[in-house]
Amino acid sequence: MLLKCIRLKKIYARCIFILIIIVCLVIITSQFLPKDNQNNSYKHSKVSNNLSQIFEKKLRDYESRIIPNLGDNGEAAFLDGKDARDGEKALKKFALNTVLSDRMPLNRKLRDPRNKKCKDFAYDPKLKASVIVIFYNELLSVVLRTVWSVILQTPGKLLEEIILVDDASTEESLKGLLDYYLETRLKEHRIKIVRIKHRLGLIRARLQGARIAQGDVLIFLDAHCEATVGWAEPLLSRIEEDRTAVLVPIIDVIEATNMAYSTNGDTTFQVGGFSWSGHFTWIDIQEEKDKNKLTPVKSPTMAGGLFAIERNFFWDIGSYDEQMDGWGGENLEMSFRIWQCGGRLETVPCSRVGHVFRDFHPYSFPDNKDTHGINTARLAHVWMDDYKRFFFMHQPGLENNPIVGDLTHRKQLRQKLRCKPFKWYLDNVYPEKFIPDENVFAWGQARTEFEMCLDDLQLGDDKVGPLGLYQCHPFLAMSQYFSISQKGELRKENTCAEVFNGYDVQLTACHGHQREQYWILFKNGSIYNPAVRKCLSSEGVDNGKGVKVEDCKDSVYQRWTFTNINNTV
Ligand code: UDP
Ligand code: MN
């Protein structure tokens, strides 16, 4: 009995021992298996033998159709006959001539687009970059050309790795065939692929890439870019000098029609601004001293698709707002945050990368949500303080809408980092940004006694068109929001009322030189233009038509009442 008991105990102990060993083995081996905890697998998977043959054949077919030297030096490229016609069709469908891209060498040579003097700078950075390229249903040849350009134009010692993030593309060629291409054609290069199982949108896709990056600096690129010679050195050198500098190259245009690499000359470029409707805009370099400069130039915002940031700084300063879905808004969020929380944004003139600007998004968004609007509402609530009022005038439906989601974490981040107010940003980083109700003589609706108001007739902020007259809305809508600025402009955000031919009044880009854009608002309500010595009049103007200037007289048609008058300016 006792013996039996002892034997049982022994068996027990042995079982427990074996169990412990098994558990240990499972734990140890799991450390070495690819991590799949975020629904993603890292490093491209090995392609099976059968598939290999199929892929190899596909690639050979594809490679045999490539036309040598097509598009070399970034020249515009053209195809003939059916190919040309198919290219036209593709352009309408994908906003890109995919037929042409497929025939152009993946490693085409580009000319050096930089200013000649850039070569005189002796950059010798010690930092290494992880280049992160995210994609959703992009054309394989365009993605590969992006990868090739990075490999060809980045000295090996500066390139830690390339990380491709597939945001759950459904396009077959971006799966096994891409893996196979990397395995067979780019084997000796450090390229990782993150495969996201369920589409995350570009913000969270970039985050997934950043999480596995090991380089000192993260450089994000869209999947339809081409880097040019010397692009990486000035970015890395500047970050070595100041880790809080977040950098954008000059973004040149790769034409979607013919793949031409086109520049605006080698000295002219613009930096980033924003509109109160929450969109990114290009603006002229802000300070005279910075024009024609080849060292980094201050930029209030960035376009978002292409930028370099020191890896730890990226995390320290709050990476991205993870609750932002889909596409859009993240670039302004990051721009404001960087400036307000102690970093700086700069454009680096000696670093140039081409980007295909597409006329429309060739992909749709889940649930057709206006992710740009929702994301911008998030950033407006977190970063713009009271100035968010202008954004919500454009998007009133989003102001108190639960669709915008919880903001607690981002507000906590702002507190934790002790970030400066948005007013500081406007005063110091973007002082020329027009604020419709600050430092102005009058603002709001400008109405006549007949309840007619000045109206931009939905012109849009960068077009030229008549300064219109329309029934006053019962609330202050953006289309009827006008200001008389300190400079005497009768204006909207970017457009100013200007007299043409001594008669006609058009909204046109504000040029700041007064003359026909100079108006005086008199106490009696007349709006006088000294250049033509006439007054703004609504006489005989139909609803929805343009106002004009006439000889000044005491007339109800020449009296305008602004919602707000500021006598203290
Ligand atoms: N993208 C993504 N997931 C999405 C939408 C876009 O990964 O849900 C990728 C897209 O393939 C591209 C990058 O994000 O590489 C930026 O998108 P896009 O180029 O369309 O934006 P744009 O340059 O027009 O602002
Ligand atoms: Mn893009």
93-103 tens-digit pLDDT: 999 999 999 99
Q: Which residue has the higher pLDDT, 512 or 197?
A: 197
- 525, amino acid identity: G
How far is 468 from 457, CA to CA, in rounded Å? 6
136 lines ligand 1 (CB under 6 A): yes
Mean pLDDT of 420-441: 97
Q: How far apart are CA 11 and CA 188, in angstroms?
A: 53
Q: What is the pLDDT of residue 38?
A: 43
- Domain holding 449, by residue range, is 440-565
Number of H helices, E strands in the chain: 14, 26
The total domain count for the chain is 1
Two tokens, residue 100: 């042409």
Could you tell me if the CB of 488 is within 6 A of ligand 1? Answer: no
Residue 330 CB–ligand 1 contact under 6 Å? no
Supply φ then ψ for residue 376, to 5 degrees.
Answer: -70, -35
Residue type, 21: I
User: Distance (Å, rounded) from C-alpha 65 to C-alpha 106?
Assistant: 12
Q: Does the residue 301 lie in any domain?
A: no
Q: Is the pLDDT of residue 525 over 70?
A: yes
Does the Cβ of 74 fall within 6 Å of ligand 1? no
Residue 534 belongs to some domain of the structure: yes
Residue with the nearest Cα to atom 16 of ligand 1?
Answer: 222
Residue 361 to residues 45, 353, 480, 525, 530: CA-CA distances in angstroms? Answer: 29, 20, 31, 47, 47
- How does pLDDT run across 223-267, given as a tens digit for each residue? 999 999 999 999 999 999 999 999 999 999 999 999 999 998 878
Nearest-atom index, ligand 1, CA of 167: 7
- With respect to residue 131, please indicate whether it lies within any of the assigned structural domains: no
Closest CA to 380 of 368, 388, 370: 388
What residues have CB less than 8 Å from 266, skipping those under 6 apart?
113, 114, 115, 116
Distances (CA, A) of 543 to 371, 467, 470: 35, 12, 5
Mean pLDDT over 193-211 rounds to 97
Q: Which amino acid is at 196?
A: I
Q: Mean pLDDT, the chain, as a whole number?
A: 92
Choose the residue to mutate in 40, 134, 139 for probing ligand 1, maximizing ligand atoms within 8 Å of C-beta.
134
Angstrom distance (rounded) from CA 499 to CA 510: 12
Residue 544 in domain? yes
Question: pLDDT for 26-69, tens place per residue?
Answer: 555 444 443 433 444 445 566 778 899 999 999 999 999 999 99
**Which residues make beta-bridge pairs with 60?**
none
Which one, of 38, 14, 1, 382, lies nearest residue 198 by Cα?
Answer: 38
Is position 211 within any domain?
A: no
**Which ligand 1 atom lies nearest to the CA of residue 205?**
7
Which amino acid is located at 508 in the chain? T
Q: If you measure from the C-alpha of residue 378 to the centroid of ligand 2, how many angstroms do you get, rounded to a whole number?
A: 22
- pLDDT tens readout for residues 152-172: 999 999 999 999 999 999 999
**CATH code, domain with 500:** 2.80.10.50
Q: Look-up: residue for tokens 């954004």?
A: 391
Tell whether 480 is covered by a domain.
yes
31 alpha carbon – ligand 1 mean position (Å): 33
Q: Which ligand has the minimum distance to the alpha carbon of residue 363?
A: 1
Q: Is residue 95 domain-resident?
A: no
3-state class percentages of the chain: helix first, strand second, coil last, to nearest 5: 35, 20, 40
Q: Per the structure block, which two tokens stand in for 253?
A: 């245009």
On whether residue 6 sits in a domain, the answer given is no
* Ligand with smallest separation from the Cα of 194: 1
Q: Is the dihedral of CA 268, 91, 209, 383 positive or negative?
A: positive
104 lines ligand 1 (CB under 6 A): no
Q: Is the CB of 223 under 6 A from ligand 1?
A: yes
b/e code 262-284 from CB counts within 10 Å (16+ = b): ebeebeebbbbbbbbbbebbebe
